[in-house]
């Protein structure tokens, strides 16, 4: 028995890639993309014809609209392969603008609907800033499901649950990277601060009965993935999915976390939220890692969005 099949018995496995060709191999239910993954795919010659096609169809439109059309086109290709939901990310440049995030989510869903895709198959991916969480709260009230990303801390997770967000993506590997860069080391995967962070968030949600789905993201190793078996969902890169597939297990996988039935999860906005804006900002500010990684994550996703726009300019 291989580790991927075993993992799928306990957790919904999601493919974390812009390369939809790779998806057929791993048969995930859902898929996630982000601006860096789309850029990586677009930079390979394999997807050049698709980019040119999008450019041709959106000639004369603004670079922002062309960018949205491209990310939605990737989403459409992915949805033709998977049975579940695709996460499509709002432009990171809007991470501190609630109104613009809501407007862009509407644009994304409108583009999908032109191709017959219902909103139930799309998760609008938004950075878990105060402004992003407020945008998600409004969207969720309108029945639009959101995936709050760049999530590195408990206060971000709790604020999302309070806002009635469908799904959060707490990151593992970027937390690991932060600690390793500061010379911290550990021997056992259980002591990895990235793994510990997601375990703590998941346990808190399970204990409190929060219906917001928890999807561990940003993995650096197969060990980290397996250490979170049982989590509602895990989004994993093709390289690590391959590693899981190639790992033979001698005995069935014992999940580290008690599984929850996704069908029974119903998110409910809290009437007594844990945070108002000042207390949220103060709490996140207490955590140097979360502050730095959130800021860096937005910077890098924005930079990669800008690179995609520049690429359009070159190909036009």
> Does 218 participate in binding ligand E4P (rule CB under 6 A)?
yes
The neighbouring-strand residues paired with 16 are 32
Site string for ligand E4P, 84-113 (x = CB under 6 A): ------------------------------
Residues 6+ apart with CB under 8 A from 39: 18, 304, 307, 308
Nearest approach in angstroms of CB 88 to ligand E4P is: 11
Kindly tell me which of 174 and 199 has the beta carbon lying closer to ligand E4P. Answer: 174
Residue 233 makes contact with ligand E4P by CB under 6 A: no
CB of 278 to ligand E4P, least distance (A): 28
Range 4-43, binding ligand E4P (CB under 6 A): 16, 32, 34
| Whole-angstrom distance, CA of residue 60 vs CA of residue 79 | 27
CB 120 within 8 A of CB 79: no
Give the shortest CB-57-to-ligand E4P separation in angstroms.
Answer: 27
As measured in angstroms, the least distance from the Cβ of 161 to ligand E4P is 18
* 232 scored as a contact of ligand E4P (CB under 6 A): no
140: contact with ligand E4P by CB under 6 A? no
Are 53 and 275 within 8 A, CB to CB?
no
Q: What H or E segment, with its residue span, contains residue 15? A: strand 12-16
Q: Catalytic residue, from 8, 125, 267, 293: name it.
A: 125
Out of 169, 197, 212, 283, name the contact with ligand E4P by CB under 6 A.
Answer: 169
Q: Which of 47, 235, 243, 308 binds ligand E4P (CB under 6 A)?
A: 235
184 vs 46: CA distance, rounded Å:
40
Taking the least distance from each CB to ligand E4P, the nearer of 40 and 281 is 40
Looking only at the bridges linking them, the beta strands covering 12-16 and 233-236 are parallel
Nearer to ligand E4P, 125 or 134 (CB): 125
Least distance CB 147 / ligand E4P (angstroms): 7
Residue among 31, 61, 4, 110 at smallest CA distance from 312: 61
The answer to whether the CB of 35 falls within 8 A of the CB of 308 is yes
Q: Tell me if 173 contacts ligand E4P by CB under 6 A.
A: yes
Contact, 73 vs 50, CB < 8 A? yes
Structure tokens at 36: 């860096």
Catalytic annotation present for 302: no
Q: Which runs of E-coded beta strand occur in 102-202?
A: 122-127, 146-151, 167-170
Binding interface with ligand E4P (CB under 6 A)? 16, 32, 34, 149, 169, 171, 173-174, 217-218, 235
Q: List residues with catalytic annotation.
A: 125
């Amino acid at each position: 028995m291989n580790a991927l099949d075993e993992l799928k018995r306990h957790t919904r496995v999601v493919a974390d890639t812009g390369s939809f060709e790779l998806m057929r191999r791993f048969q995930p239910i859902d898929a996630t993309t982000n601006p860096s993954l789309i850029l990586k795919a677009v930079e390979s010659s394999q997807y050049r014809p698709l980019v040119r096609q999008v450019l041709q169809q959106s000639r004369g439109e603004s670079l922002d609209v062309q960018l949205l059309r491209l990310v939605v086109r990737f989403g459409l290709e992915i949805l033709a392969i998977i049975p579940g939901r695709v996460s499509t990310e709002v432009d990171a440049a809007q991470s501190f603008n609630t109104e613009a995030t809501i407007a862009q989510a509407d644009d994304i869903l409108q583009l999908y609907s032109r191709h017959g895709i219902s909103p139930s198959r799309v998760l609008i991916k938004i950075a878990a800033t105060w402004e992003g969480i407020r945008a998600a709260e409004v969207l969720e009230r309108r029945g639009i499901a959101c995936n709050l990303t760049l999530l590195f801390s408990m206060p971000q997770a709790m604020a999302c649950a309070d806002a009635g967000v469908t799904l959060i993506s707490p990151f593992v590997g970027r937390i690991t990277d932060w600690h390793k860069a500061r010379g911290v080391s550990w021997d056992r995967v259980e002591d990895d601060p990235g793994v510990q962070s997601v375990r703590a968030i998941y346990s808190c949600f399970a204990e409190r009965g929060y219906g917001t789905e928890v999807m561990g993201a940003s993995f650096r190793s197969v060990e980290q993935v397996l250490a979170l078996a049982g989590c509602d969902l895990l989004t994993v890169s093709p390289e690590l999915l391959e590693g899981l597939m190639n790992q033979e297990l001698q005995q069935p996988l014992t999940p580290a976390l008690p599984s929850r039935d996704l069908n029974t999860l119903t998110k409910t906005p809290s009437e007594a939220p844990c945070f108002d804006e000042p207390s949220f900002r103060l709490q996140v500010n207490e955590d140097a890692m979360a502050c730095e990684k959130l800021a860096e994550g937005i910077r890098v996703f924005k930079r990669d969005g800008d690179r995609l726009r520049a690429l359009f300019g070159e190909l036009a």
